[in-house]
Amino acid sequence: FIVMEFLRLSGRADAKLFGRKMAMMHLATPLAEEAQQGKFGFDVPNTIGGTAQPNAWSDDWVAFFREQRIGHQVRLASDSRISKAWKLALQTTDDLHKLFDGISVKPSVLHGDLWSGNIASTGGEPTIFDPATYYGHHEAEWGMSWCASLGPSFWEGYRELIPKDPGFADRAVLYELYHKLNHYNMFGGGYYTDSLGLLGQLARLGDKKLEDVAL
């Protein structure tokens, strides 16, 4: 059996308030001792949609996301074109490290599957539900923003507490890729092309960063 809190859900609350509440959640002190110590993951594996999601604790965010998020989805896809494109992206981004140059990543509790169908309000307060929770980089929360309808007022509220870090747009490609690969593994169809396109973007980003260093 599972016992859950009953929430009387209605339409979304004020967007700016929602943004501030999400930032407060990301800034909150982690409850898990491992996350308090700077580790990324979760106490147990869970699921992202219908797909198993591994969460073994790791001291290294880049390694965690590379192996337990994208690498996991690539292995599930078992597709030669996706595997080849992933290998190229790793080569050009120095195993993704180039995307994180100059920033510090700390564990935040994440909803993990934040799209429009998991956002509502109760009693006028913003409410999110049906999570794929783990402790990770707060930017990873926005990997589903392509179908979350987060508008300017939301971002205004969020950025009042958590400013945008350099390289945000580049990492957004990586974080969207996780969910597009997962959608491909669950539903197939056009998500295959989307995934290959994002993998290609990653590879080109790595090349661009190499050119910037050379200059």
- Tell me if residue 113 is catalytic: yes
* Residues 111/23, Cβ–Cβ less than 8 Å: no
Instruction: Output the 3-class SS for the chain.
Output: CCCCCCCCCECCCCHHHHHHHHHHHHHCCCCCHHHHCCCEECCCCEEECCEEECCCCECCHHHHHHHHHHHHHHHHHCCHHHHHHHHHHHHHCCCCHHHHCCCCCCCEEECCCCCHHHEEEECCEEEECCCCCEEECHHHHHHHHHHCCCCHHHHHHHHCCCCCCCCHHHHHHHHHHHHHHHHHHHHCCCHHHHHHHHHHHHHHHHHHHHHHHHC
Q: Which of 59, 113, 194, 212 is catalytic?
A: 113
- Which residues belong to the active site? 113
